Structure 1
Amino acid sequence: MRLVNLISCLLPLAVYAESLNPKYHGLPSLREQAAIQDSWRDERLANIPQLLRKHGVDSWLMSQREYAEDTAFWSLKTAIEFSARRRTVHLFFASAPEGMQTAYKFVDNTKAVFEDLKELLETHQPRSIALNVDADVAFAGGLHVGMYNELVDQLGPKWSNRFVEAPMVAIEYIATMPKAQLKWYKRLQETAWAMISEAFSEKVIEPGKTTTEDVEWWLRSKIQAMNYSTWFHPGVSILYTDIPFRPEPEPPAGRKVIEYHDILHVDFGVTALGLNTDTQHLAYVLGPNESRDEIPQGLKDGLRNVNQLQDIVRENMIVGTSGNDILKSIRAQMKQKDITGRIYCHPIGDWGHAAGTLIGMTNLQDGVPVLGDIRLLNQTYYSVELYAEYFVPEKNNTVKFYQEEDVYWVEDNHWDWVYGQQTEFLVVQTKDKTGIEDGLKTQL
């Protein structure tokens, strides 16, 4: 028991120590990347029959044209497909007669494809055919109206009368992450941390000269240099304590230059291997020759407060519970612990804002219609995105502490950080330039 307690004490320190020095991870060759991505895709495709049975449908049909793809297409395609070709049709079955397949794909620009489809439907005799026609969920509503009308006309009433809506088929297919993917997702997340750590350092920032926009473009350039990409432009901001902070804030006129003792915030994500990350971290700009110890204690306490809120969110993310019920439990616990803030967590993976339930939105803290009613799935990734307010005596004001970290599902019923949790401010350490110049003159 003493050994178990010791490990329990040391584990947070190990995560904390690791998070202080994140490393960059380069990507393999494009050919190797394609092989990796296709192996993940094959694993997901193999799960479709079970998924159809789970949601009570016999088949799943998608049809799309080049540049008018079904949303689900992007999670079905191979790594070397950049769009649908001609008319691309996917048909999946929950089961198949002996000697037949459960998955079919057609690429054709003639009406002959519909005769092939009818022949398959006659052989398999599905009682229900799921289409992605949901009005509220993008991941289950990607069938274009022209394609829908064509399916009705060409397949005829015998089969079109069996068309059904089963949005959870597409949602769960896209949301389910293969186990083998996690190794690379961790590397991507660590690389994002490394980029943020370098961006928020004296290597990039010179107080009184560097602007927030300079740091944003440094991050974009770093992404490109490493052959990564991103799903949104990085957002770097100065957290002002005299005005409310807004998403994608515009600072007061003329105030984009980073100065000593500023609190910096970044919203940043990288994309590679068909995966996306999302992270928000905070940094503090030290004055000349100051050390980390001189960060105002109120700021340290504020970060500890938002860390507590992050942990509350993870604890309440119970698989099988709706996002709205999870949000309700989180807010009740926030009230109990006297934490003021907002919760807006979202699934992540194939997309930056991916398939699955939402746990709050910035403007919807009492529940999210439709998307908040979906039940939380396991085997997926989530961004724990939120802020907590905290009164900082040294600033004589309340500061909003923004944090976002990605989590993944662990088999023993809990969510863990993909890489880590920011528990200390990043610091921009600067030296007294006058002292440096005097030292150089002495040496000369």
Structure 2
Amino acid sequence: MRALDYLLAAAAVALTVGISTSAHAAKSPRIQTLPPLREQAKIVDAWTEERKALIPGILRKYGIDAWLISQREYAEDTVFWALKEATQFSARRRTTYLFLAHPTNGAPSSYQWIENTPLVWDELTSILETQQPATLALNDHAELAFSGGLHAGERDAIFSALGSSKWTGKFVLEPMLGIETVATMVPSRLEWYKKMMETSWAIIEEAFSERIIKPGETTAWDVEWWMREKIQALNYTTWFQPSVFILNKDGFEAMDDPRAPDGLIEYGDILHCDFGVTALGLNTDTQHVGYVLSPGETGADIPNGLLEGLEKVNRLQDITRGNMKIGMTGDEILKASLDQAHGEGIQGKIYCHATGEFGHSAGTVVGMTNLQEGVPFLGELPLLKNTYYSIELYAEHFVPERNQTIKFPQEEDVFWNEETESWDWVYGQQTKFHFIHTQADKGVQSQGEL
């Protein structure tokens, strides 16, 4: 498919899903300052209360009467981190939650204990005797982290404390309880998530500029550590070490350990970064590409093969986003997306995941780098709405000017838009390279630049 064909196809997908692919590309992203810590805590706690209020409805959705979550300090259930208060840094003593789908006689729908005596089990048993749930869910799935956070020792303690088969015989496993609780992003979170994504874009834009990179002097790891220091200086943090690849030298193969090899950045290099920030209990995940202009070169001189490579991976992003239908499994979305991409002559790999509460958060996955025919367990889950996803993938493209097939990676976060019933970019989609200018052309702008 020629470059023009990619652009036309991408535009068609954007119209289909009701999204502008570069809503923010026309303006330069800015750093968004975080509020004071006390204010952050108020914001996060309000989000948590909104989420907790949804849990009884989630129980009813899956036909579960009660849900028991229990953990000890430093041995927390995965779901704990979505339920805790902002000023809690771990579970205290034994921290136990009980949620009810159909509380009777004016009883509350949720309970919490922080206790290091048998009192918690006495009171829990009393509530169960009063409410008489027919099913009592535990988080003990063998394969799904967000549904399997109950530690073995705590599970033994629960069985011992509740004693008779009257209650232990009612224990059930419903993996979607933990997954949907963590995956659901309440609407009030979106404003700050957009600000965090803009901050990520702004840091990447500065990192991939002549302010930070001096060809022949700066290395890939220099840029990585600059990004870490920048995050720290802004009072953000991150959930993984930033990586910077030199695509024309290192190649690119997404790995479970994405640490890129170090190397000197030189004129004509094609750069790639994998980067995310963490704040307010949220995580972003972004991959962009840049190009180091040679002396006397401007953005208008970039090899056409590189432009076509970026257009191709943008198209693969749009294909994937367009196939993400609510209720489909990740494996079904993966197959539909790859079939459509291959039909258009695009080769690459897709490995999209939920993000937000965790960097790799609760929800189905659409492929993994080593699993392009389906992902056991995670790929079999249904796609949920009201969550955030990273559209993460790469496309292969032969660049004739380099006589080289290059893998062009991209990653942008999307959110479920209830009004349009589609996946919208949280901040935007990178459709143009970041350019690292030389001193001679510093400040020169061209049509090909962000």
TM-score range relative to shorter protein: over 0.9
CA deviation vs aligned residue, 1:316-352 (integer Å, no higher than 9, x gap): 0000000001111001101110100000000001100
8 Å contact kept, 1:360–1:366: yes
Kindly tell me: are residues 246 and 61 of structure 1, through their superposed partners in 2, closer, same or farther at Cα, counting changes over 3 Å?
closer
Task: Give the Cα–Cα distance (whole angstroms) in 2 for the partners of residues 243 and 349 of structure 1.
Answer: 29
Q: How far did residue 16 of structure 1 move?
A: 5.1
Q: 2:139 maps to what in 1? A: 132
The amino acid across from 2:207 in the alignment is A
The amino acid across from 2:45 in the alignment is D
Q: 2:62 maps to what in 1? A: 55
Task: Give the Cα–Cα distance (whole angstroms) in 1 for the partners of residues 95 and 357 of structure 2.
Answer: 20
CA deviation vs aligned residue, 1:166-199 (integer Å, no higher than 9, x gap): 1100100000000010000000000000000000
Q: 2:201 maps to what in 1? A: 193
The amino acid across from 2:275 in the alignment is F
Q: 1:415 maps to what in 2? A: 423
2:40 maps to 1:33: yes
Task: Give the Cα–Cα distance (whole angstroms) in 2 for the partners of residues 129 and 319 of structure 1.
Answer: 28
Q: 2:3 maps to what in 1? A: none
Kindly tell me: are residues 361 and 286 of structure 1, through their superposed partners in 2, closer, same or farther at Cα, counting changes over 3 Å?
same
8 Å contact kept, 2:184–2:385: yes
Q: 1:232 maps to what in 2? A: 240
Counterpart selection for 2:76 from 69, 90, 94:
69
Q: What SS class does the counterpart of residue 411 from structure 2 fall into?
A: strand
Q: How far did residue 242 of structure 1 move?
A: 7.9
Q: What SS class does the counterpart of residue 318 from structure 1 fall into?
A: coil
2:332 maps to 1:325: yes
Q: 2:210 maps to what in 1? A: 202
Q: 2:413 maps to what in 1? A: 406
8 Å contact kept, 2:209–2:436: yes
The amino acid across from 2:229 in the alignment is S
Task: Give the Cα–Cα distance (whole angstroms) in 2 for the partners of residues 54 and 112 of structure 1.
Answer: 31
Q: How far did residue 97 of structure 1 move?
A: 1.3
The amino acid across from 2:78 in the alignment is T
Q: How far did residue 23 of structure 1 move?
A: 0.8
Q: 1:293 maps to what in 2? A: 300
The amino acid across from 2:344 in the alignment is K
Kindly tell me: are residues 149 and 166 of structure 1, through their superposed partners in 2, closer, same or farther at Cα, counting changes over 3 Å?
same
Q: What SS class does the counterpart of residue 15 from structure 1 fall into?
A: coil
Larger CA Rg, structure 1 vs 2: 1
Q: How large is the Cα RMSD of the aligned pairs?
A: 1.9
2:170 maps to 1:170: no
Task: Give the Cα–Cα distance (whole angstroms) in 2 for the partners of residues 201 and 272 of structure 1.
Answer: 25
2:93 maps to 1:94: no
CA deviation vs aligned residue, 1:85-143 (integer Å, no higher than 9, x gap): 10111000001112211100001111121111100001111000000000010011011
Higher relative contact order (CA 8 A, sep 6+): 2
Task: Give matches, 1:30-429, under 5 Å.
Answer: 30-156=37-163, 157-240=165-248, 245-247=253-255, 248=258, 251=261, 256-411=263-418, 412-429=420-437
Q: How far did residue 11 of structure 1 move?
A: 7.9
Q: What SS class does the counterpart of residue 17 from structure 1 fall into?
A: coil
Taking structure 2 as the reference length, the TM-score comes to: 0.91
Task: Give the Cα–Cα distance (whole angstroms) in 1 for the partners of residues 30 and 399 of structure 2.
Answer: 32
Q: How far did residue 80 of structure 1 move?
A: 0.6
8 Å contact kept, 1:22–1:194: yes
8 Å contact kept, 2:68–2:138: yes
Task: Give the Cα–Cα distance (whole angstroms) in 1 for the partners of residues 407 and 19 of structure 2.
Answer: 28
8 Å contact kept, 1:342–1:365: yes
Q: Which runs of 5+ in 1 are unaligned?
A: 434-444
Paired residues, number = 424
Taking structure 1 as the reference length, the TM-score comes to: 0.93
CA deviation vs aligned residue, 1:64-91 (integer Å, no higher than 9, x gap): 1100001100000010111111011100
Task: Give the Cα–Cα distance (whole angstroms) in 2 for the partners of residues 288 and 171 of structure 1.
Answer: 52
Q: What SS class does the counterpart of residue 38 from structure 1 fall into?
A: helix
Task: Give the Cα–Cα distance (whole angstroms) in 2 for the partners of residues 171 and 250 of structure 1.
Answer: 31
Task: Give the Cα–Cα distance (whole angstroms) in 2 for the partners of residues 11 and 305 of structure 1.
Answer: 18
Task: Give the Cα–Cα distance (whole angstroms) in 2 for the partners of residues 316 and 228 of structure 1.
Answer: 33
Q: 2:8 maps to what in 1? A: none
Q: How far did residue 228 of structure 1 move?
A: 0.2
The amino acid across from 1:206 in the alignment is K
Q: Which runs of 5+ in 2 are unaligned?
A: 1-11, 442-450
Task: Give the Cα–Cα distance (whole angstroms) in 2 for the partners of residues 246 and 40 of structure 1.
Answer: 33
Q: How far did residue 240 of structure 1 move?
A: 2.3
Q: What SS class does the counterpart of residue 215 from structure 1 fall into?
A: helix
